[in-house]
Amino acid sequence: SYELTQPPSVSVSPGQTARITCSGDVLPNQYDYWYQQKPGQAPVLIIYEDNKRPSGIPERFSGSTSGTTVTLTISGVQAEDEADYYCQSADSRGTYWVFGGGTKLTVL
Amino acid sequence: QVQVVQSGADVKKPGASVKVSCKASGYTFTDYFIHWVRQAPGQGLEWMGWINPDSGGTNYAQKFQGWVTMTRDTSISTAYMEVTRLTSDDTAVYYCARQAVPGNHFDYWGQGTLVTVSS
């Protein structure tokens, strides 16, 4: 089965760099995606196809991959970045989608 | 502009069924798959399945096979998701989301529908 594993929480001070990892055996063979979710709101796509940013997403958000682990990096974290972050992938046939468990980013 | 608007919150008793709607506008409804994702209180996102609005074909996560049904009405650009035999574990916010083309991700989400199961 496809499973994606994220750390439950990450804490950083404003202006620092936050790195959120996502691990899974499916990741070397499939694209990964990242969503940001703030309380009471629907998720918002912030990274697609490993490292691309949709229009309107700040440049401080970036994605990278290394083997079975993908990483969301937020450079120069701002208070408004405090949110839950989810990685997501899908199998090659497009029949099964999976989310990581989510990581709560706290800006100290 | 693309919009995905869901039906309002609902309260159901255990054993009942609930049907959530998801109305799309601003694009050709039949060109994009619609997925359903749920989120229990304080928990993460859980993928439930998708419907192809063009053919009506569906694909469900194994956990939801047999008690969740996804349908659509192309005449009003609306997708539906029905959950039967509700239990308290089904209390959650249910989201519909449009699958991007091309891609295996979700580019537009509904606002979410809170379904509360309580006796």
CB contact under 8 A, B110 and A42: yes
Of A42, A86, A101, the CB nearest to B109: A42
pLDDT at residue A86 tops 60? yes
pLDDT 10s digits, B90-112: 999 999 999 999 999 999 999 99
CB contact under 8 A, A102 and B110: no
CA-to-CA dists, residue B19 to A29, A69, A94, B28, B79, angstroms = 36, 38, 25, 23, 10
Of A30, A48, A99, the CB nearest to B45: A99
Average pLDDT of the segment spanning A73-101: 94
Residues across chain B: 119
Helices (H), B1-119: none
Inter-residue contact A64 to A71 (CB < 8 Å): yes
CB contact under 8 A, A48 and B37: no
Q: Is B112 on the interface with A (CB under 8 A)?
A: yes
Q: CA–CA separation, A42 vs B93, rounded Å? A: 10
Residue tagged 């060109």 (tokens): B31
Q: What pLDDT sits at residue B83?
A: 97
Whether cis (ω within 30° of 0) applies to the bond prior to A54 is no
CB contact under 8 A, A90 and B104: yes
pLDDT at residue A1 tops 70? no
Q: Number of A:B CB contacts under 8 A?
A: 55
Q: Which residue of B has its CA nearest to A8?
A: B44
Inter-residue contact B19 to B82 (CB < 8 Å): yes
Q: What pLDDT sits at residue A59?
A: 96
Chain A residues closer than 8 Å to B44 by CB? 84, 86, 99-102
β-strands B10-12, B113-117 pairing: parallel
Among A85, A97, A99, most B C-beta atoms within 10 A, so best to mutate, is A97
Average pLDDT of the segment spanning A51-75: 95
Residue tagged 């796509």 (tokens): A45
Q: CA–CA separation, A23 vs A66, rounded Å? A: 10
Query: What would the two tokens of residue A56 be?
Result: 């309107």
Average pLDDT, chain B: 97
* Helices and strands of chain A, counted as H and E runs: 0, 9
Residues of chain B with pLDDT under 50: none
Q: CA–CA separation, A65 vs B118, rounded Å? A: 43
Q: What pLDDT sits at residue A64?
A: 94
Distance, in angstroms, between A57 CA and closest chain B CA? Answer: 13
Inter-residue contact B21 to B8 (CB < 8 Å): no
CA-to-CA dists, residue A95 to A2, A9, B51, angstroms = 12, 30, 11
Could you tell me how far CA B96 lies from the centroid of its own chain?
4
